[in-house]
Structure 1
Amino acid sequence: MNILMILTSHEDFGNSGRKTGFWMEEFAAPYYRFLDAGSKVTLASPQGDQPPVDAASMGEDFQTADTRRFAGDVKAQAQLASTLKLADISADDYDAVFYPGGHGPLFDLTDNAASLALLTALHSAGKPVGAVCHGLAALIKAKTADGTPLVKGHEVTGFTDSEEAAVGATDLVPYSVEQELAKAGGKFRKADDWANFAIRDGLIITGQNPASSASVADHLLAALKERG
């Protein structure tokens, strides 16, 4: 199976002076789940090459077995440093897509034309779509082939308003993931802050926060196995 992972290229947190990017654990946990299951993983981003890592995600409190594995994985580091440009990606080449979070996707993946077209094509082909935390930004404006919002009528989750408040970002983010998914017709569900919570509803697989990233990856792999 060929799985595409799409990361953000955005590092500025609005005009706050803070930096952001992608959250390392939300990349590393699915990346190794996919590889260890025998899948081929391709990495892409809007600008290509090295996507920015949110420095906060590199703190000791957020290190896991997967992030430590990546820290010692020269091959994976080289792959991350040379992501493909999203505009050059064809949905025909992949069996599924996964969007890690970090606040970066809020700024460059919500309206990204290549990403939105890719999601429509993958969904039309019956291929699963996974996203975790702020990676849900990519799904908010995505449509099915007939123009219906991709998340409409589906149970979904993502980074919650209460979690956004807990990290002091409520006034920094361009919008609320929780509220925008609901506006798009998604049936937003959530667990306690920082709990592992993932939902699979048809072809759409979503996770609430960093603790949920491996669970989303596992659901996506299960969906691919069912497709055969």
Structure 2
Amino acid sequence: MAPKVLFVLTSHNKLGNLDKPTGWYLPELAHPYHVLHGKTDITVASPKGGEAPLDPASVDAAKDAVSVAFLANHEAVWKTTRKLADFKGKAADFDALFYVGGHGPMFDLVDSATSQQLIREFWEAGKVVSAVCHAPAVFYDARLSDGSLLVEGKEVTAFTNAEEEQAGLTDVVPFLPEDALNKASGGKFVKGEELWAEKVVVSGRLITGQNPASATAVGEAIAKALGV
């Protein structure tokens, strides 16, 4: 039987206090989906359920064949998401948890009690827990049953301060993923030598990717961890 993976998308569509739309970032769903579709059984959830907002800027930016094909052929993936809360207590039904990036998760998932409960349940059930770009920020305050931080002492990566600065959104996000994860992990934040280049960090069952260019490699790392 194919391993089961729960993908998590944001339901948040407004960029901080700017009058600009946001959401999840196209290649960060398209590429892992492309890698894992057919090898795993994928379920997609979001805090509100229903249609999860796609960041229009990511459609403009992502012209690669995988993203374009995903956009054209897989609308149902993000337009018919399940409610995230429905999966509390269901970690035994899955093999991996994966958070898709974009700026949206910074506003509705990082401090979500539902999300933090899912992360704890999946981790403590021995499952793979993963995220890419801004989404690893959901782990910064995720605590285990003993009160310890999930990322404490573990190498982790995410969208970097320098990348956020180049994106011009340093003052828009509630906090910077690099700073928060570096503190929570005890200085174990890792980043690539070049900005915007592929970087994936595998710390046992915890898999994180730095940026959009890391999306395929994150999918491949999840597949490898699941043995598919």
Cα distance in 1 between the residues matched to 2:221 and 2:161: 24
TM norm structure 1 = 0.94
> Is the 2:131–2:208 contact (alpha carbons within 8 Å) kept by the matching residues of 1?
yes
Offset from partner CA, 1:154-187 (integer Å, 9 cap, x none): 1110000000000100111110100000121251
Following TM superposition, by how much is the alpha carbon of 1:146 offset from its aligned partner in structure 2, in angstroms?
Answer: 1.5
Cα distance in 2 between the residues matched to 1:8 and 1:15: 17
> Is the 1:25–1:63 contact (alpha carbons within 8 Å) kept by the matching residues of 2?
no
Following TM superposition, by how much is the alpha carbon of 1:121 offset from its aligned partner in structure 2, in angstroms?
Answer: 0.9
Alignment map for 1:98-177 (pairs within 5 Å): 98-177=98-177
TM norm structure 2 = 0.94
Cα distance in 1 between the residues matched to 2:56 and 2:189: 29
Secondary structure of 1:221 counterpart = helix
Counterpart of 1:189 in structure 2 is: 190
Following TM superposition, by how much is the alpha carbon of 1:151 offset from its aligned partner in structure 2, in angstroms?
Answer: 0.6
Offset from partner CA, 1:35-91 (integer Å, 9 cap, x none): 13x2110000000011111110001x4222221221331xx2123211000001122
> Is the 2:128–2:206 contact (alpha carbons within 8 Å) kept by the matching residues of 1?
yes
- The root-mean-square deviation of aligned C-alpha atoms, in Å, is 1.2
Following TM superposition, by how much is the alpha carbon of 1:144 offset from its aligned partner in structure 2, in angstroms?
Answer: 2.1
Select between 11-20 and 195-204 the one with higher mean Cα deviation: 11-20
> Is the 1:130–1:217 contact (alpha carbons within 8 Å) kept by the matching residues of 2?
no
Cα distance in 1 between the residues matched to 2:7 and 2:104: 15
Instruction: Give runs of ≥4 in structure 1 deviating > 6 Å.
Output: none
Alignment map for 1:37-76 (pairs within 5 Å): 38-59=39-60, 61-73=61-73, 76=74
Following TM superposition, by how much is the alpha carbon of 1:220 offset from its aligned partner in structure 2, in angstroms?
Answer: 1.1
Secondary structure of 2:168 counterpart = coil
Select between 138-147 and 47-56 the one with higher mean Cα deviation: 138-147
Q: 1:225 aligns with which of 203, 224, 227?
A: 227
Percent of pairs with identical residues: 44
Counterpart of 1:87 in structure 2 is: 85
Counterpart of 1:3 in structure 2 is: 5
Cα distance in 1 between the residues matched to 2:13 and 2:4: 28
Counterpart of 1:14 in structure 2 is: 16
> Is the 1:144–1:150 contact (alpha carbons within 8 Å) kept by the matching residues of 2?
yes
Alignment map for 1:24-35 (pairs within 5 Å): 24-35=26-37
> Is the 1:155–1:199 contact (alpha carbons within 8 Å) kept by the matching residues of 2?
yes
Secondary structure of 2:131 counterpart = strand
Note the residue ranges of structure 1 that are not aligned, 5 or more in a row: none
- Give the aligned residue type for 2:179: Q
Cα distance in 2 between the residues matched to 1:113 and 1:195: 32
Following TM superposition, by how much is the alpha carbon of 1:145 offset from its aligned partner in structure 2, in angstroms?
Answer: 2.5
